[in-house]
């Protein structure tokens, strides 16, 4: 650094220049705060405990699923049914907002219902994967469409009879069991209930890249 540059650093400048520098410093701090908040919110939101998701007692809300889709689901055990629905999205710190999501509904055969717990130890294991609601309701299981690896949306391949994620090729069986690829766990089942003849769901978003289930947000 030359003598001239060193002198420039020591010179506080005119009052206008000092004011402008202060403004820029404050603006930089404010922007840093916004970026910090964007990074911090998902971390803080991930602290929502599973025990808070009790849709029947006020923790989370139930959203009706379309009758036509549920009829299609009830009529088939060969292929999952893609079901879209809209709801109010609730984050830990942000105001609620409208959202539309889709899930994959699967109707299990009696044999699949009987073997579900064996097939999906990741859902029933106490070490972080267990969910606080029935994973299978009336032979139906509803899988979140969010890939547990990095959050892409996977699809059902009717020829291969597998769910396949287009991003990094994680693959799952029709019961959501992890078959291959980088996903750290099987597919995430969501709460389902029947009320007055309507099927209803609670949307839960779980954290990616974790072998256990950590809630990020819910409806």
Question: Applying CB under 6 A, which residues contact ligand FES?
Answer: 147, 149-152, 165, 167-168, 170, 181-183
Closest contact distance (angstroms) between CB of 145 and ligand FES is 11
Instruction: Give whichever of 41 and 152 is closer to ligand FES, judged by the CB atom.
Output: 152
d(CA 204, CA 219): 7
Residue with tokens 């106490």: 126
Smallest gap from residue 171 Cβ to ligand FES (A): 9
Q: Which of 48/165 has CB closer to ligand FES?
A: 165
Closer to ligand FES by Cβ: residue 145 or 202: 145
Nearer to ligand FES, 59 or 181 (CB): 181
Q: Please, which residues have CB within 8 angstroms of residue 192's CB and are 6 or more apart in sequence?
A: 134, 137, 138, 140, 141, 142, 199, 200, 201
**Closest-CA residue to 192 (of 91, 83, 48, 79):** 83
CA distance linking residue 214 with residue 144, whole number of Å: 14
Q: For residue 34, report the phi and psi dihedrals to the nearest 5 degrees.
A: -65, -45
Whole-number minimum distance, CB 162 to ligand FES, in Å?
A: 13
Report the nearest approach of ligand FES to the CB of residue 152 (Å).
Answer: 4
Min separation Cβ 167 and ligand FES, Å: 4
Residue that is written with structure tokens 């984050």 in the block: 91
Q: Which is nearer to ligand FES, 107 or 149 (CB)?
A: 149
């Amino acid at each position: 650094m030359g003598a001239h540059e060193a002198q420039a650093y020591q010179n506080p400048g005119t009052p206008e220049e000092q004011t402008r520098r202060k403004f820029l410093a404050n603006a930089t701090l404010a922007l840093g705060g916004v970026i910090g908040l964007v990074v911090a919110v998902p971390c803080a939101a991930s602290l929502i405990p599973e025990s808070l998701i009790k849709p029947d007692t006020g923790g989370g809300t139930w959203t009706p699923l379309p009758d036509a889709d549920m009829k299609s689901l009830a009529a088939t055990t060969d292929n999952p049914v893609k079901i879209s629905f809209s709801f109010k999205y609730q984050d830990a710190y942000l105001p609620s907002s409208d959202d539309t999501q889709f899930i994959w509904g699967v109707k299990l055969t009696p044999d699949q219902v009987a073997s579900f717990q064996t097939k999906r130890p990741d859902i029933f294991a106490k070490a972080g994967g267990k969910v606080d609601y029935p994973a299978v309701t009336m032979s139906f299981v509803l899988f979140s469409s969010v890939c547990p690896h990095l959050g892409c949306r996977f699809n059902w391949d009717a020829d291969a009879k597998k769910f396949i994620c287009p991003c990094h090729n994680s693959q799952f069986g029709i019961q959501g069991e992890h078959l291959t690829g980088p996903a750290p766990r099987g597919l995430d089942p969501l709460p389902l209930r029947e009320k007055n003849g309507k099927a209803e769901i609670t949307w839960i978003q779980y954290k990616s890249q974790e072998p256990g289930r950590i809630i990020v947000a819910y409806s």
